[in-house]
Amino acid sequence: MTRATRAVIDLAALKHNLQISRHAAPQVRHMAIIKAQAYGHGMLRIARALDDADAFGVALIEEAIPLREAGISKPILLLEGFISEKDLILIRSYNLDCVVHHESQLKMLEAVSGDPVSVWLKIDTGMHRLGFKPQQAHDVYQRLQQCAVIRQPIHLMTHLANADDRDDKLTEQQVKIFHKAIQFADAIDRSIPCSIANSGGVLGWPVSHADWVRPGIMLYGVSPFIAGKGKEYDLKPVMTLQSELIAINQFKKGEKVGYGGSWTCPDDMPVGVVSIGYGDGYPRHARPGTPVLVNGQRVQLVGRVSMDMLSVDLREQPAALVGDPVTLWGEGLPVEEVADYASTIAYELLCSVTNRVQFDYIE
Ligand SMILES: *Cc1c(COP(=O)(O)O)cnc(C)c1O
């Protein structure tokens, strides 16, 4: 018998979420961000299902090549750009778009000839991770234009640092800094394509929509906002992480559960054991009290999560039986809520599901 532990990936929900992005930012192009195995959902299956996207964004060449080899022909942008001349050869032979954010890349582009490459010039407007300074933008743009290998148009982009916080003033400031930095573009050509928004920008800041938006987390049904839930934006969870009860044991008041005996039964009570643990990507730091669904009803995690199993308080589910279904997050239990209990963000939980878990794709 195989283990019931699985991640059910709802491709219809994924497509629905892209439509939510399209409704929020109409009349602009949508680059679906599918880096890190599409936030843990399986990059190729997600890319194939998102045939309505205008382009894809990944972090690395190693992520882009399998997409091309599988026959994906849409533009694919490398969000980290490239590091070496070898990368640049691959970029051109696989026809990948790349972010140019650093002088070292510019020098390599200036030194080559041959097949053209599409570039996205990245300006740092306050994230302070990747990008040229706003005052360098015009100069870098001109240098790119003089490169023999640059395909027109050159795109202009930036990335928002605090778009997860609707009250943060930085987002509007970043948009302003971006527009000021690219004022030169208006004089050259009003059609130079620009991109600012991640999911937070798409749903929270229409001023950031520009020509291209780059939604990531929202496509997977998760709210990009602090303390938000996908449902508030009509987003549907794409991944439902499931398992089953493999044991139910009665313990006496005062008996301790799990490694370290860190949790003590407050009553004589039934405790269920679920076949999933941190070896599957369930967060070890999920606190006692983290919600878990047993037969679709909420119960609480108790004790420490171990590698292959975790325990739940079944006082609210006295009729539960071995083999009953358990949901760790997804349909009926927002991953955002579980992330809170584990002191992290939904992005990390979704990315962390390991390949020991079976993935089932449904339409
Ligand atoms: C990951 C990423 C995104 C998507 O961000 P979400 O918050 O998941 O929507 C957009 N742009 C860049 C440059 C990224 O690295």
pLDDT value at position 186? 76
Average pLDDT value for residue range 23-39: 98
pTM higher than the cut 0.95: yes
Q: Which of 15, 35, 122, 236 is catalytic?
A: 35
pLDDT value at position 185? 84
Q: Please tell me the distance between residue 325's alpha carbon and the centre of ligand 1 in angstroms.
A: 34
What letter would DSSP give residue 182? T
Give the C-alpha separation, 291 to 302, whole Å: 10
pLDDT value at position 87? 95
Q: Please tell me the distance between residue 304's alpha carbon and the centre of ligand 1 in angstroms.
A: 33
Total residues found in the chain within this entry: 363
Mark out the alpha helices in the chain (DSSP H runs): 11-24, 35-40, 43-49, 61-69, 85-93, 103-111, 137-146, 170-181, 183-188, 199-204, 335-341, 346-352
pLDDT value at position 191? 80
Q: Which residues pair with 32 in a beta bridge?
A: 56
Cβ–Cβ under 8 Å, residues 214 and 31: yes
pLDDT value at position 1? 59
Homologous superfamily (CATH) for 239-362: Lyase, Ornithine Decarboxylase; Chain A, domain 1 (2.40.37.10)
Dmax (CA) of the chain? 77
Tell me the pLDDT band of 266, cut-offs 50, 70 and 90: very high
Give the C-alpha separation, 284 to 280, whole Å: 10
Give the C-alpha separation, 24 to 218, whole Å: 11
**Is it the case that residue 32 has pLDDT exceeding 70?**
yes
Catalytic status, residue 39: no
Which residues have any ligand 1 atom within 6 Å of their CB?
33, 35, 79, 159, 198-200, 214-217, 224
Atom number, ligand 1, closest to the C-alpha of residue 35: 1
CATH architecture, domain defined by 11-222: Alpha-Beta Barrel (3.20)
Q: Please tell me the distance between residue 160's alpha carbon and the centre of ligand 1 in angstroms.
A: 9
pLDDT for 190-224, tens place per residue? 689 999 999 999 999 999 999 999 999 999 999 99
Catalytic status, residue 259: yes
**Is it the case that residue 35 has pLDDT exceeding 90?**
yes
Cβ–Cβ under 8 Å, residues 310 and 276: yes
Q: Report the percent of the chain where pLDDT is more than 90.
A: 96
Q: Domain residue spans in the chain?
A: 11-222, 239-362
Q: Looking at ligand 1, which residue's alpha carbon is closest to its atom 4? A: 216
**Is it the case that residue 268 has pLDDT exceeding 80?**
yes
| Region of residue 149 (phi > 0: left; psi between -120 and 50: alpha; otherwise: beta) | alpha
Whole-number mean pLDDT of the chain? 97
The pairing of beta strand 291-294 with beta strand 325-329: antiparallel
Q: Please tell me the distance between residue 322's alpha carbon and the centre of ligand 1 in angstroms.
A: 41
